[in-house]
């Protein structure tokens, strides 16, 4: 049986003035706790090293760039990599990436059990807007500060499994999971920073938790894969972020879940072999997909109403 003990490391809020060193200390505590629970791998949220800076409008690019990592690993996270290697624990976390040739991405990495980076994903579906919006109590300027990821949705062979990653808003799009499903993905790691109140369209605020689980559970079931969804949660700079971190089995069921909205580790023993059940039955793609009818999905971006 192919088993992997996955630790979900939900993080509480990170305030703007909180330096990376302080945050890394929190991440180390979570990692040590995960080690005590027997974890093989730990998953942290999107933009795990800083506050969700896209809520602030900034015009000075030099200031914006202070939120980005120019190298990974770097001095600020060195201890995290060292501790992971000494625990023989793989890890995944999100950070803002500034490449040597000046590109800005919302990125997640995956390391092996020697803390060597073996996979990198760059967020494809960037939500929000690119200019200051006076209607909003908090901005959501991901389209201003990041470029859409240029790596697609790869699936890597690691830990005896087919592993994929995506980030936050990606989880709301069925295409995200299906492209990985087409590569026989068995476990997906994803971190999120989700404001519970969207001031410009508050109509679904009360359903934030439901929608979070709905899309991840559907993605897991329809592609017969484990999904590990990890929040940065709680009140960050006056913006309330959703909690609800969870580990979802290929059946679509939540098998482990955070209990609060702060720093918290919980674990699930994920049997990768059960992802075969529906890969060979209900969602046996080779037998049942009808690609001749799916063309519009890649031909069109926006919906065109019928006349």
Residues with active-site annotation: 46, 123, 168
CA angle 31, 33, 34 (to 5 degrees): 60
Helix/strand/coil (H/E/C) assignment for every residue in 181-236: HCCCCCEEEEEECCECCCCCCHHHHHHHHHHHHHHHHHHHHHHCCEEEEEEECEEE
> Cβ contacts of residue 19 below 8 Å, gap of 6+?
none
Among 172, 213, 218, 222, binds ligand CDT (CB under 6 A): 172
Residue among 194 and 249 whose Cβ is closer to ligand CDT:
194
Minimum distance from CB of 123 to ligand CDT (Å)? 7
Query: Could you say whether residue 176 binds ligand CDT (CB under 6 A)?
Result: no
Among 198, 222, 251, 262, binds ligand CDT (CB under 6 A): 198
Residue among 162 and 194 whose Cβ is closer to ligand CDT:
194
Q: Is the peptide bond before 73 cis (omega within 30 degrees of 0)?
A: yes
Among 50, 107, 162, 194, binds ligand CDT (CB under 6 A): 194
Residue among 73 and 229 whose Cβ is closer to ligand CDT:
229
Query: Could you say whether residue 127 binds ligand CDT (CB under 6 A)?
Result: yes
Query: Could you say whether residue 192 binds ligand CDT (CB under 6 A)?
Result: yes
Query: Could you say whether residue 140 binds ligand CDT (CB under 6 A)?
Result: yes
Query: Could you say whether residue 138 binds ligand CDT (CB under 6 A)?
Result: no
What is d(CA 202, CA 198) in angstroms, rounded to the nearest whole number?
5
Query: Could you say whether residue 193 binds ligand CDT (CB under 6 A)?
Result: yes
CB 118 within 8 A of CB 110: yes
CB 41 within 8 A of CB 267: no
Report the interface residues with ligand CDT, using CB under 6 A: 46, 127-128, 140, 168-169, 172, 192-194, 198
């Amino acid at each position: 049986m192919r088993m992997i003990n996955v630790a979900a490391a939900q993080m509480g809020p990170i305030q703007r003035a909180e330096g990376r060193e302080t945050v890394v200390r929190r991440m180390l505590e979570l990692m040590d706790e995960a080690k005590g629970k027997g974890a093989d791998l730990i998953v942290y949220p999107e933009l795990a090293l800083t506050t969700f800076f896209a809520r602030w409008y900034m015009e000075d690019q030099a200031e914006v760039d202070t939120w980005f990592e120019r190298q990974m690993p770097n001095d600020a996270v060195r201890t995290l990599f060292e501790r992971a290697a000494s625990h023989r624990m793989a890890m995944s976390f999100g950070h803002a990436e500034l490449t040597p040739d000046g590109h800005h991405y919302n990125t997640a990495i995956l390391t092996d059990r020697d803390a060597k980076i073996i996979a990198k994903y760059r967020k494809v579906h960037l939500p929000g807007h690119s200019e200051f919006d006076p209607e909003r109590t908090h901005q959501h300027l991901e389209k201003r500060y990041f470029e859409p990821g240029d790596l697609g949705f790869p699936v890597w062979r690691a830990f005896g499994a087919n592993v994929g990653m995506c980030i936050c808003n990606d989880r709301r799009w069925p295409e995200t999971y299906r492209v990985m499903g087409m590569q026989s993905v068995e476990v997906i790691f994803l971190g999120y920073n989700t404001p519970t109140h969207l001031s410009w369209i508050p109509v679904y605020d009360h359903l934030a938790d439901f929608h979070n689980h709905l899309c991840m559970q559907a993605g897991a079931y329809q592609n017969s894969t484990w999904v590990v969804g990890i929040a940065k949660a709680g009140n960050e700079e006056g913006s309330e972020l959703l909690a609800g971190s969870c580990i979802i089995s290929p059946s679509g069921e939540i098998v482990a879940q955070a209990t609060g909205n702060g720093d918290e580790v919980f674990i699930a023993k994920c049997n990768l072999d059960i992802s075969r059940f529906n890969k060979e039955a209900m969602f046996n793609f080779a037998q049942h997909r009808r690609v001749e009818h799916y063309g519009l999905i890649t031909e069109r971006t926006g919906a065109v109403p019928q006349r």
